Structure 1
Amino acid sequence: GRLTAAHNPAATVAFAYDPLGQLLAETQTLAGGTPRVLGHAYDVLGNRTRTHLPDGRVLNALFYGSGHLHQLNLEADGTHHTICDVERDALHREVYRTQGRLASRFDYD
């Protein structure tokens, strides 16, 4: 019951999964174009930790503990550029997030 492909006159997208049902690859092909592949990797908890982009860059998702997101960063030419940082309270609820110069604070009752 997993989507394996989608087509329209402008493009085709194909999906490949591992035996656990995790998305391993997305192949995007514009009409008459060269296929572009996004590859995904997961940790033992099933969190997507890396997405390899067609241009060679890598999107990294860093998790801690039982799978709580801590940071998203883009790796290019050996340098990690932070996209988003997440801080959590003792109950692992998100309390603060930075995205570039944008900062968000969350309070709970």
Structure 2
Amino acid sequence: MGNGQELSSFRWEKRLVIIVDTIQKNTYSNQIKLFTKSLEELEERDILLFYYDGKNLLDTSGKNTDLHLPEGMFQKDSELILIGKDGSIKMRSPLPIDPKEVFQTIDQMPMRRSEIKKGQP
């Protein structure tokens, strides 16, 4: 991934959802379709979506990113990883997963509750 961006550059700004699909490939596209039906929810929760194909970390348009992730982050061939605004892994789940489960997990986080109280979407 070259001289790219560090995961820490998103800290306190964005939550990351990484869809890992190194075997079936079609699971990724189906999972992305589910999430893109919920664009407003993604935006409200400051979520960026990525896809890991076993070699590259791609954005939702299929472009390779230069985001550096910690060694050993990807543990399974098919899973969803949620990284919180503090930079830590908040959730790992097998695919497929209903985006509502991810949103509910985020909504239970203290930082998200604080955002809601402050009137942020």
Shared fold per TM-score greater than 0.5:
no
Which has a greater percent of strand?
A: 1
Which has a greater percent of helix?
A: 2
Rg larger in structure? 1
